[in-house]
Amino acid sequence: MASHRRAKQPGRTRVTVLTATAAAAVALTSQAAQAAPQPSKNEVKEKVDKLYEEAEKATEKYNGAKEQQTRLQKEVDALQDKVARGQDELNTLRAGLGTVASAQYRSGGLDPAVQLFLSSDPDTYLDQASALDQLGSKQTEALTEIQSKQRTLAQQRKEAQAKLGDLADTRKELGTKKREVQTRLASAQKLLNSLSAKERAALKKDESRANRASARADLGKAVPASGRAAAAFAAGQSKIGTPYVYGASGPNSFDCSGFTSWAFAQAGVGIPRTSQAQANAGTRIYSQSQLKQGDLVIFYGDQHHVGFYAGNGQILHAPRTGTVVRYESINNMPFQFGVRI
């Protein structure tokens, strides 16, 4: 016979101890969460500056992809125009040969080779000497030209198709780089929003102080590197106070390389769009003491930032998101070399 003994219930003392232990654990967890230190204003600023630097790296890659997209689009358009013109020329040549064939037919006989051409692809029989022997010199010349035009068109169509594939890949890369920049900027903004109103005001005050320092920058007796460097630098000076916006190339907002390329364009000089490409656009100068006003200055090992040398250890540049075009010390970032355009 099965036993129906009742399970032993835990004693009141044990339940009380367990309840008390659980309550204590919850309380300790709550206290630990409350005691977790909030990052200071300086710590947040350090993280935000790092995110802005990463965003600028991604921005220059975005600029490179955008520049490549523009170049590829121009090449595709040119090839498609070439194909269209070639097709028109081919149609004209075919129409001309058709007119000859009509005349032969009306005069009592259609040349067998022309008849063959009109009923199939000329590539099929132009390689056969017997067909060429039956043609007159003008017809031979016309058919040869048509064949050549067809081959050229086929090659141009193939090239255009390849360029279209490259263009599609570049557009995809462009979207990826844009999202990367936006992610970094959004993370930076989230960190800034975690600060108190007082701390955000303090950071804003620091930026205002940097702008005031820029207005008082002493450029010494700076000598321009050349007439065009002087013109580009003067154009850059006219944009002091203009906001930094990633991917922007003026005239109402700039990123770092957008600022320098725009300024040189005002001097009638075309330079590449990205900082890495600008690093190879002229003669490199590795000693700061040899820099002259209007020289480009390249920063960071991966060359993701560029500005103008202004003189007396100062640079003129578009620093980063949240700032404006201004003067700053050349020592604020890791200098790599100058570039004389």
Domain range annotation of the chain: 41-193, 220-340
Whether the bond between 39 and the residue before it is cis, its omega within 30 degrees of 0, is: no
Per mean pLDDT, which range of 17-26, 110-119, 216-225 is the poorest?
17-26
pLDDT at 20 over 50: no
The residue type at 148 = S
CB 167 within 8 A of CB 73: yes
Q: Is 7 assigned a catalytic role?
A: no
Q: Which pLDDT score, from 0 to 100, does residue 88 have?
A: 81
CATH class of 41-193: mainly alpha
283-285: strand order across its sheet: 283-285, 335-340, 296-299, 305-311, 314-317, 326-329
Q: Exactly one of 256, 281, 291, 324 is catalytic; which is it?
A: 256
Residue scoring higher pLDDT (124 or 169): 169
Query: What is the overall mean pLDDT for the chain?
Result: 81
Mean pLDDT calculated for residue range 103-125? 52
Q: How far apart are the C-alpha atoms of 193 and 157, rounded to whole Å?
A: 54
Residue 90 pLDDT greater than 90, yes or no = no
Catalytic residue among 317, 320, 326, 340: 317
Taken in order 71, 77, 83, 85, the sign of the CA dihedral is negative
Q: Name the phi and psi angles at 340, rounded to 5.
A: -100, 115
CB atoms within 10 A of CB 274: 25
Per-residue pLDDT, averaged over 14-25, amounts to 47
Q: Indicate if the pLDDT at residue 270 is higher than 60.
A: yes
- Cα separation, 261 vs 341, in Å, equals 11
Q: Which of 259, 211, 203 is nearest to 235 (CA)?
A: 259
Q: 257 near 64, Cβ under 8 Å?
A: no
C-alpha span between 260 and 309 (Å, rounded): 11
256 in active site: yes
Q: Per mean pLDDT, which of 27-36, 176-185, 188-197, 312-321 is the most reliable?
A: 312-321
> Of 216, 187, 169, 160, nearest to 328 (Cα)?
216
Domain covering 220-340, topology: endopeptidase fold (from Nostoc punctiforme) (3.90.1720)
DSSP label at 111? -
Tell me: pLDDT of 180 over 50: yes
Distance CA 241, CA 274 (A): 22
Please pick, among 163, 304, 305, 326, the residue that the annotation labels catalytic.
Answer: 305
pLDDT of residue 10: 53
113/209: higher pLDDT: 209
